[in-house]
C-alpha cells in the first residue's frame, strides 16, 4: 500500500451553539461535537471510524466534506489547505472526496431513472466531454459498482431495485466523478444482513481497482474487521484510540475499545470473551465530564481520572495495567 498521505486533519473542532443555561445568563453553551481530532488517510487506505451514535463521527465526516465549517483546526487534502474554501474551490475538491450516506432510500430521487441519477453529478460538476463519453462514464460507474450489465438498470427507477442495488447506485453516483476518497457514513446499517457483506466487499474491491481511499464510519466494530487497514475509535468528540486493524482488534488499549470489542459475538463457541457492560449513558456533550471524559463509565477509573485528562494523569502501575492509555 502506498504511504502517500491524501488527507490530514489537525486539531479539528466543531462546536455548535446550544443556547444559554438560563434567561439572564450571559454564557452561551456549546455542543462539543468534534473536540480536537488528529487524523490522516493514505492513498487507497481503508480507515474505519467507529463509535456509538452521538460520538461526533458523522459531524467529522461533514467537516471533511466541507459541509460544515470547523470552529478550529486544519484539514489538508493532497497538501492543499482545504479548511475554509469558497464555493468554486470547494466544488473542485468535492469531486475528489465523495460521500455515501446511510439511507439509499432517501439519497435517490424516485422520479429519476438510474441513468439520470448517475449522470447528474457530472452535469453539476460541468463535465465537458461529449454525450457519448458521458454515457460511457455512467456505464462504467454502474458496472464498477456491481450493476452489470449497466443497460439492464439504466432505464429503471429506484423503486424497481432492491436495497442493496440502490446503495450500489449511490456508490455509482460517487464513482462517476473519479473520487480519490469515499466517506461512507454507516453505508450498510439500513440494509439486510445478507447484503451488508456484499457492499463492504464492493468498497474493499474499489480501493484496489480504482485506488480509492475509504473512511468507513460505523457504530459496529465487528463489521470492519476483515477489510479496514486501520481503526480509529471515537468517544465524545475525540479519537481515543487509533491503530492497525489487527492491533486494535487483538490488543485494544483503551477501556472503551475493550468494551466495544467485548460485545462482538465470537463465531467459535469454545472461545469466550468476558463481556464488559458500560454503566450509564454517554455524557451530554454540552456538559462534558472533568478530567478523562470517559471516567463516568470507565470500569477501571480511579479518583485521579476525574481531575486529569489521560495525557496528564500520572498512571500508577496497576492503573496503567488496567487502563493502558498511552501517556504522551
Q: What is the contact surface with ligand SF4 in residues (CB under 6 A)?
A: 255, 292, 294-295, 298, 300-301, 305, 310, 313, 323, 325
CB of 298 to ligand SF4, least distance (A): 3
- Compare residues 161 and 313 and give the one whose CB is closer to ligand SF4: 313
Q: Is the dihedral of CA 134, 139, 142, 145 positive or negative?
A: negative
Q: How far is CA 60 from CA 37, 46, 63, 302, in A?
A: 9, 16, 5, 30
| Strand pairing report for 72-77 and 213-218 | unpaired
Which residues in the chain belong to E strands, given as ranges?
5-17, 30-42, 46-50, 72-77, 80-81, 97-100, 181-185, 213-218, 230-235, 238-244
**Cβ atoms 214, 47 nearer than 8 A:** yes
CB of 254 to ligand SF4, least distance (A): 6
CB of 320 to ligand SF4, least distance (A): 9
- Compare residues 176 and 292 and give the one whose CB is closer to ligand SF4: 292
- Compare residues 97 and 313 and give the one whose CB is closer to ligand SF4: 313
Query: Grid coordinates 474491491 are at which residue?
Result: 205
CB of 38 to ligand SF4, least distance (A): 18
CA 59 remoteness from chain centre: 9
- Compare residues 227 and 294 and give the one whose CB is closer to ligand SF4: 294
User: Three-state DSSP class for 198?
Assistant: helix
CB of 255 to ligand SF4, least distance (A): 5
CB of 257 to ligand SF4, least distance (A): 10
- Compare residues 242 and 323 and give the one whose CB is closer to ligand SF4: 323
Contacts of 273 (CB under 8 A, 6+ apart): 261, 262, 264, 266
Cβ atoms within 10 A of the Cβ of 5, count? 16
CB of 305 to ligand SF4, least distance (A): 3
- Compare residues 178 and 309 and give the one whose CB is closer to ligand SF4: 309
User: In DSSP terms, which residues pair with 183 in a beta bridge?
Assistant: 99, 215
- Compare residues 85 and 324 and give the one whose CB is closer to ligand SF4: 324
Sheet order of strands, 80-81 included: 30-42, 5-17, 72-77, 80-81
CB of 302 to ligand SF4, least distance (A): 6
Residue 190: name the closest of 264, 104, 100 by CA: 104
- Compare residues 135 and 289 and give the one whose CB is closer to ligand SF4: 289
| Backbone phi and psi for residue 191, each to the nearest 5 degrees, phi listed first | -100, 160
Four-CA torsion 132, 133, 136, 141, nearest 10 degrees: -140
- Compare residues 130 and 279 and give the one whose CB is closer to ligand SF4: 279
CB of 89 to ligand SF4, least distance (A): 40
Amino acid at each position: 500500500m502506498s504511504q502517500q498521505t491524501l488527507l490530514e486533519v489537525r486539531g479539528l473542532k466543531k462546536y455548535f451553539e446550544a443556547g444559554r443555561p438560563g434567561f439572564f445568563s450571559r454564557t452561551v453553551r456549546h455542543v462539543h461535537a468534534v473536540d480536537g481530532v488528529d487524523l490522516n488517510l493514505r492513498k487507497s487506505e481503508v480507515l474505519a471510524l467507529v463509535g456509538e451514535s452521538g460520538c461526533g463521527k458523522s459531524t467529522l465526516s461533514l467537516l471533511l466534506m466541507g459541509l460544515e465549517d470547523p470552529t478550529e483546526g486544519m484539514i489538508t487534502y493532497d497538501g492543499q489547505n482545504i479548511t475554509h474554501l469558497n464555493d468554486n474551490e470547494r466544488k473542485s475538491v468535492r469531486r475528489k472526496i465523495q460521500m455515501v450516506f446511510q439511507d439509499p432510500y432517501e439519497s435517490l430521487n424516485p422520479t429519476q431513472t438510474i441513468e439520470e441519477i448517475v449522470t447528474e453529478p457530472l452535469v453539476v460538476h460541468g463535465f465537458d466531454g461529449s454525450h457519448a463519453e458521458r454515457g460511457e462514464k455512467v456505464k462504467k460507474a454502474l458496472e464498477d459498482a456491481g450493476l452489470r450489465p449497466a443497460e439492464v438498470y439504466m432505464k429503471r427507477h429506484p423503486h424497481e431495485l432492491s436495497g442493496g442495488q440502490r446503495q450500489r447506485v449511490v456508490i455509482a453516483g460517487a464513482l462517476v466523478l473519479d473520487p480519490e476518497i469515499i466517506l461512507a457514513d454507516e453505508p450498510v446499517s439500513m440494509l439486510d444482513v445478507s447484503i451488508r457483506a456484499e457492499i463492504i466487499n464492493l468498497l474493499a474491491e474499489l480501493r484496489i481497482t480504482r485506488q480509492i481511499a475509504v473512511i468507513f464510519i460505523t457504530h459496529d466494530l465487528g463489521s470492519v474487521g476483515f477489510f479496514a487497514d486501520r481503526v480509529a475509535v471515537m468517544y465524545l468528540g475525540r479519537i481515543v484510540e487509533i491503530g492497525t486493524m489487527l492491533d486494535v482488534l487483538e490488543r485494544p488499549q483503551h477501556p472503551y475499545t475493550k468494551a466495544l470489542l467485548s460485545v462482538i459475538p465470537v463465531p467459535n463457541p469454545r472461545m469466550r470473551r468476558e463481556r464488559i457492560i458500560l454503566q450509564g449513558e454517554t455524557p451530554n456533550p454540552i456538559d462534558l465530564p472533568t478530567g478523562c471524559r470517559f471516567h463516568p463509565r470507565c470500569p477501571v477509573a480511579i479518583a485521579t481520572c476525574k481531575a486529569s485528562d489521560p495525557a496528564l494523569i500520572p498512571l500508577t502501575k496497576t492503573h496503567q495495567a488496567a487502563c493502558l492509555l498511552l501517556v504522551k
